[in-house]
Chains A and B, each alone.
Chain A
Amino acid sequence: EPEVTQTPSHQVTQMGQEVILRCVPISNHLYFYWYRQILGQKVEFLVSFYNNEISEKSEIFDDQFSVERPDGSNFTLKIRSTKLEDSAMYFCATRAEAFFGQGTRLTVV
Chain B
Amino acid sequence: AQKITQTQPGMFVQEKEAVTLDCTYDTSDQSYGLFWYKQPSSGEMIFLIYQGSYDEQNATEGRYSLNFQKARKSANLVISASQLGDSAMYFCAMRQGGSGTASKLTFGTGTRLQVTL
Q: How many residues on the B side are at the interface (Cβ–Cβ under 8 A)?
A: 25
Assess the A91–B104 pair: CB atoms within 8 A.
Answer: no
Contacts A96-B100, A98-B35; A35 near B105 (Cβ below 8 A): yes
Partner of A31 from the list B50, B102, B110 (CB cut-off 8 Å) is B102
Closest chain-A Cβ to B30's Cβ sits at a distance in Å of 18
Assess the A48–B45 pair: CB atoms within 8 A.
Answer: no
Most buried by B among A58, A89, A98: A98
> Which stretch of A20-28, A65-73, A100-108 is in the interface?
A100-108
Assess the A42–B109 pair: CB atoms within 8 A.
Answer: yes
In B93-117, the 8 Å CB interface with A consists of 93, 95, 99-110
Contacts A42-B91, A44-B107; A100 near B100 (Cβ below 8 A): no
Q: How many residues on the A side are at the interface (Cβ–Cβ under 8 A)?
A: 25
A43 in the interface, Cβ–Cβ < 8 Å?
yes
- The SS class assigned to the A binding surface is strand
Tell me which residues across on chain B come within 8 A of A96, comparing CB atoms.
Answer: 33, 95, 99-102
Closest chain-B Cβ to A64's Cβ sits at a distance in Å of 20
B25 in the interface, Cβ–Cβ < 8 Å?
no
Assess the A97–B35 pair: CB atoms within 8 A.
Answer: yes
Since A97-B104, A99-B47 are in contact, a sample of 7 more A-B pairs with Cβ atoms closer than 8 Å, ordered by chain A residue number, is: A45-B106, A48-B104, A96-B101, A97-B95, A102-B42, A102-B44, A103-B43
Interface residues of A (CB under 8 A from B): 31, 33, 35, 41-45, 48, 50, 55-56, 58, 89, 91, 93, 96-103, 105
21 A-B pairs within 8 Å (CB atoms) are namely A33-B104, A33-B105, A35-B105, A42-B91, A42-B107, A43-B91, A43-B93, A43-B105, A43-B107, A48-B102, A48-B103, A56-B102, A58-B104, A91-B45, A96-B99, A96-B100, A96-B101, A98-B47, A100-B47, A102-B42, A103-B44
Q: Which 10 interchain pairs have the tightest Cβ spacing?
A: A100-B45, A45-B104, A43-B107, A102-B44, A98-B47, A42-B107, A42-B109, A31-B102, A97-B105, A103-B43
Interface residues of B (CB under 8 A from A): 33, 35, 37, 42-47, 50, 91, 93, 95, 99-110
